[in-house]
Amino acid sequence: MARAAVRRRLTGPLPWRVAYLVAARAETPTSRTLVLQVDGWPGHRPGQHVDLRLTAEDCYSVQRGYSVASAPDGERIELTVQLLADGEVSPFLVHDYAIGDPVELRGPIGGWFVWDPADSQPVLLIGGGSGIVPLIAILRTRRAVGSSTPFRLLYSVRTPDDVYYRDELTGNDDVETTILYTRSAPGDSTRLAGRLTADDIGGWRDTHPRAYICGPTGFVEAASRLLVTLHYAARHIRTERFGPGGD
């Protein structure tokens, strides 16, 4: 496997840029996709994230990391933000951040949890909750470049109301997509609601896939442990944990 080289920036520290909201849409009742125009955006690789910084009038400042949801597209990027009830930043981004408003943004960040379209190794994507966001960037990039690399997606959510990008995911006819419900499944579901199990992962190991797992820390922990138990090669498992989650 070719080792990815680290790209050196020639301009010094990664700059904070000003991004503007140009469009927005609700993905679920508690999440919102932000379409941002970022002047001078150098482009990103699918799976990378950005830091957003908000500063109040009294100079109090907070920053948060968000995965990019879109495939590379010039100076436009999309982020999908999940509303956290006790959050400091997400209520603003989901409810109050308006078209035309600026926000400070730094990125792209992280060269480890990324997919390279030139890589023909089969890919197993496992997302929990809003952990689907960097994975949809990978799926969108795969489609944009016309890749035929075999892909499989396992997407774990609590209830049918929590599915991001539903039409897009279920319309992806050449990606084997399974949505797993942990709390309540739709009426026509043949699988009982419950957490990810070895049966859900099934027998894909023989294709020697690279696995990308993203979600709350506990979910990623459980999913990566399952893969190791099923004899998936640990060196082909890449993870991105985003902290405590409710599930």
Partner 1 sequence: MTEQRPEPTYLDGNALAGPLTDLFIVDVAQASTCCVGCGHRCRVAELRVYLSGPGAVARCPVCSGVVLRYVRTSTTAILDLRGTLALSVQLETAAGEPGQS
Residues that bind partner 1 (CB under 8 A): 2-10, 12-14, 49, 51, 65, 106-107, 109-113, 216-218, 221, 238-245
Q: How far is the CB of 206 from partner 1 (least distance, A)?
A: 25
Q: How far is the CB of 147 from partner 1 (least distance, A)?
A: 21
Structure tokens at 19: 């991004």
H/E/C letters for each residue in 179-212?
EEECCCCCCCCCCCCCCCCHHHHCCHHHHCCEEE
Inter-residue contact 49 to 67 (CB < 8 Å)? yes
Q: How far is the CB of 242 from partner 1 (least distance, A)?
A: 7
Tell me whether residue 50 or residue 169 sits nearer to partner 1 (CB atom): 50
Tell me whether residue 91 or residue 110 sits nearer to partner 1 (CB atom): 110
Long-range interactions of 222-231: CB distance < 8 A, separation 24+: 222/195, 222/196, 223/126, 223/128, 223/196, 226/196, 226/197, 226/198, 226/201, 227/201, 229/198, 230/198, 230/201, 230/205, 231/205
Tell me whether residue 8 or residue 231 sits nearer to partner 1 (CB atom): 8
Q: How far is the CB of 49 from partner 1 (least distance, A)?
A: 8
Tell me whether residue 169 or residue 180 sits nearer to partner 1 (CB atom): 180
